[in-house]
Amino acid sequence: MTKNPKPLTKEYITSPFMIGTMRLGKWGCNMTSSEIEKFVEGCIENRLVDFDHADIYGSYTTESDFGSVLKIRPDLRNQIRITTKCGIKMVSENRPEQKIKSYDLTKKHIKKSVENSLITLQTEYIDTLLLHRPDFLFDPYDIADAFIELKREGKVNHFGVSNFSTYQFDLLHGIFPLISHQVEISLLHRKSFEDGVLNQCQKFGIKPQAWSPMGGGVLLKKSKDQSIIEIQKQISVLSEKYNAGADQVLLAWLKKHPSDIVPVLGTSKLSRIKSANDSLKIDITHEDWYLLWQTATGKEIA
């Protein structure tokens, strides 16, 4: 544990990787408070201090699990940054008033969600709030009003979105400045390389965040799918070339992009956290990057 830790700056900065919390609780390994505490300490020791939450994780319970640790270890709060997301309304015993799954990005819901997250996370402020999914009915001016009030009240420092299209991002960013965009990006999910999302992030100097950067772990497991097998064979060749693990090659492939993609790590194992940090030493060549692209798409580029 760091002695006499200094509070992190309120300037928007992220570690090279974010720590995803979705699988720490009910939706994953169901860690105890002491296990979460040790995990958070281990991440801090590896200089990874950005934790990615969402109100719905664990059917609205994972924020509380994490918050219970911060309640008994308030010193940890000044050593980490917390991102959380809102906007998805799930059917859950913890939200009995919600009868169907829907999206809600009204000012009323955003502010209510933040109030709930502040309570469950046992914190006075959230470093970054992301809108989890685009609400088909969203009013950018209504959202901007919510953001302005939350910022003025000292409840949220920064704002961003998740899973938005370039047009939806532009619409909101033109009214209120956004500082992050989290989307699914991996060797198996390459849409953002072609639909303008990564280019848009470069244009505005925003580091995109990649959820499910390992393709949901598919590329790290045995498979009967021939296309996956072919990709794994090529990853194995590059693993030997770069003296790296398959997970490190996949992360280095993402980090090669000049937008400086920030992968969200969905692991609860500190060994994987350290492995991710070590992947920063790998500089995949331009040609090897395209070699993996070609293998994943099953064809040469045009």
CATH number reported for the structural domain that contains residue 58 in this entry:
3.20.20.100
| 170 occurs within a structural domain | yes
CB 17 within 8 A of CB 47: no
| 245 occurs within a structural domain | no
Our count of domains for the chain comes to: 1
User: What is the pLDDT, as a whole number, of residue 11?
Assistant: 72
User: What is the pLDDT, as a whole number, of residue 8?
Assistant: 75
User: What is the pLDDT, as a whole number, of residue 5?
Assistant: 54
Question: 70 is written with which tokens?
Answer: 């911060």
| 297 occurs within a structural domain | no
Known catalytic residue at 57: yes
| 196 occurs within a structural domain | no
User: What is the pLDDT, as a whole number, of residue 4?
Assistant: 47
pTM: 0.94
pLDDT by position in tens, the chain (length 302)? 444 455 676 677 789 999 999 999 999 999 999 999 999 999 999 999 999 999 999 999 999 999 999 999 999 999 999 999 999 999 999 999 999 999 999 999 999 999 999 999 999 999 999 999 999 999 999 999 999 999 999 999 999 999 999 999 999 999 999 999 999 999 999 999 999 999 999 999 999 999 999 999 999 999 999 999 999 999 999 999 999 999 999 999 999 999 999 999 999 999 999 999 999 999 999 999 999 999 999 999 98
Label the pairing between strands 88-89 and 18-20: unpaired
User: What is the pLDDT, as a whole number, of residue 3?
Assistant: 47
User: What is the pLDDT, as a whole number, of residue 9?
Assistant: 67
| 191 occurs within a structural domain | no
Query: For residue 147, which of 201, 106, 88 has the smallest C-alpha distance?
Result: 106
CA 239 to chain centre: 25
CA 154 to chain centre: 23
| 44 occurs within a structural domain | yes
User: What is the pLDDT, as a whole number, of residue 2?
Assistant: 42
CB 84 within 8 A of CB 121: yes
Catalytic residue among 12, 57, 141, 242: 57
| 195 occurs within a structural domain | no
| 302 occurs within a structural domain | no
CB 133 within 8 A of CB 102: no
- Measured CA to CA, the distance from residue 55 to residue 89 in angstroms comes to 9
For residue 130, give its domain range. 18-179
User: What is the pLDDT, as a whole number, of residue 14?
Assistant: 81
